[in-house]
Amino acid sequence: MANSSTKLIILFFTTIITFSISPTSNAPDLDLRLRTDPDAIRSASSDYGNLVKRSPHAVLYPSSENDVVELVRLSNECPTPFGIAARGHGHSVRGQAAAHGGVVVDMASLGRNGSRIRVSWDEALGYYADVGGEQLWIDVLRAGLEHGLAPVSWTDYLYLTVGGTLSNAGISGQSSFYGPQISNVLQLDVITGNGYLVSCSEGMNSELFLAVLGGLGQFGIITRARIVLHKAPTRAKWVRLIYDDFSMFTSDQEHLAMNGNGPNYLEGSIITDKSPPNNWRSTSFYSPSHQTKIQFLLKANGGILYSLELVKYYTATNTNIHKEVELMIKDLRFVPGFSFKKDVPLLDFLNRVGSLEGDDKEEEAHPWLNLFLPKSQIMDFHAAVILNLIHTQNQTSGPILFYPLNRQKWDDRTSAVVPEDEDIFYTLGLLHSTKRSESHVFENLNKQILEVCQRKGIRIKQYLPHYEYKEDWVQHYGSKWTTFQERKAKYDPRMILSPGQRIFTPVM
Ligand code: FAD
- When pLDDT is averaged across residues 64-91 and rounded to a whole number, the result is 97
- When pLDDT is averaged across residues 162-188 and rounded to a whole number, the result is 98
Q: What is the pLDDT of residue 16?
A: 52
| C-alpha triplet 425, 430, 434: angle, nearest 5° | 170
Ligand 1 center–CA 166 separation, angstroms: 8
Ligand 1 center–CA 302 separation, angstroms: 36
What is the atom index within ligand 1 of the atom nearest the CA of 190? 19
Q: How confident is the model at residue 274 (pLDDT cuts 50, 70, 90)?
A: confident
CATH code linked to domain 235-350: 3.40.462.10
Least confident of 34-43, 356-365, 444-453: 356-365
pLDDT at 301 over 80: yes
What is the atom index within ligand 1 of the atom nearest the CA of 181? 25
Q: How far apart are CA 192 and CA 493, in angstroms?
A: 10
pLDDT at 500 over 70: yes
Tell me the three state secondary structure of residue 43: helix
Ligand 1 center–CA 255 separation, angstroms: 30
Least confident of 117-131, 208-222, 391-405, 486-500: 391-405
What DSSP designation does 231 have? E
Could you tell me which residue, 50 or 13, shows the higher pLDDT? 50
Parallel/antiparallel/unpaired status of strands 103-106 and 364-365? unpaired
Could you tell me which residue, 7 or 291, shows the higher pLDDT? 291
pLDDT at 67 over 50: yes
- Asked whether the domain spanning 357-466 has the same topology as the one spanning 117-231, the reply is no
Q: How confident is the model at residue 359 (pLDDT cuts 50, 70, 90)?
A: low
435-443 long-range contacts, Cβ below 8 Å, gap at least 24? 435/363, 435/364, 435/365, 436/50, 436/51, 436/363, 436/364, 436/365, 437/363, 439/51, 439/365, 439/367, 441/395, 442/367, 442/395, 442/397, 443/51, 443/367
Class of domain 357-466: alpha beta
Ligand 1 center–CA 226 separation, angstroms: 18
Least confident of 189-198, 236-245, 277-286, 474-483: 277-286
Residue nearest to atom 36 of ligand 1 (CA): 91
pLDDT in tens, 303-356: 999 999 999 999 988 889 999 999 999 999 999 999 999 999 999 999 999 988
Q: How far apart are CA 484 and CA 191, in angstroms?
A: 18
- When pLDDT is averaged across residues 78-84 and rounded to a whole number, the result is 96
What is the atom index within ligand 1 of the atom nearest the CA of 217? 21
Q: What percent of the chain has pLDDT over 90?
A: 84
Q: Is 267 a catalytic residue?
A: yes
pLDDT in tens, 378-412: 999 999 999 999 888 766 678 999 999 999 999 99
Tell me the three state secondary structure of residue 49: coil
Q: What is the pLDDT of residue 461?
A: 97
Q: Is 440 a catalytic residue?
A: no
CATH code linked to domain 117-231: 3.30.465.10
Q: Which of 453, 507, 410 is nearest to 214 (CA)?
A: 410
Q: Is 411 a catalytic residue?
A: no
Least confident of 54-58, 80-84, 356-360, 373-377: 356-360
Q: What is the pLDDT of residue 15?
A: 52
Written as one string, the DSSP assignment of 364-377 is: EE---EEEEEEGGG
Domains of the chain, residue spans? 4-107+490-501, 117-231, 235-350, 357-466
Written as one string, the DSSP assignment of 127-169 is: EEEEEETT-BHHHHHHHHHTTTEE-S---S-S-SBHHHHHTT-
What mean pLDDT is reported for the chain? 92
- Four-residue CA torsion sign, 229, 233, 238, 243: negative
CATH architecture designation of domain 4-107+490-501: 2-Layer Sandwich (3.30)
Q: Which of 138, 140, 155 to mutate to test the pocket of ligand 1 (most atoms within 8 A of CB)?
A: 155
Q: Is the CB of 218 under 6 A from ligand 1?
A: no
Q: How far apart are CA 332 and CA 20, in angstroms?
A: 65
Residue nearest to atom 42 of ligand 1 (CA): 165
Q: Is the CB of 212 under 6 A from ligand 1?
A: no
Q: How far apart are CA 231 and CA 440, in angstroms?
A: 46
Q: Is the CB of 85 under 6 A from ligand 1?
A: yes
**Catalytic site residue from 65, 106, 244, 267:** 267
Q: Which of 60, 107, 157, 159 to mutate to test the pocket of ligand 1 (most atoms within 8 A of CB)?
A: 157
Alpha-carbon 329 to chain mean position: 30
pLDDT at 72 over 80: yes
Q: ipTM beyond 0.95?
A: yes
Q: pTM to 2 decimals?
A: 0.94
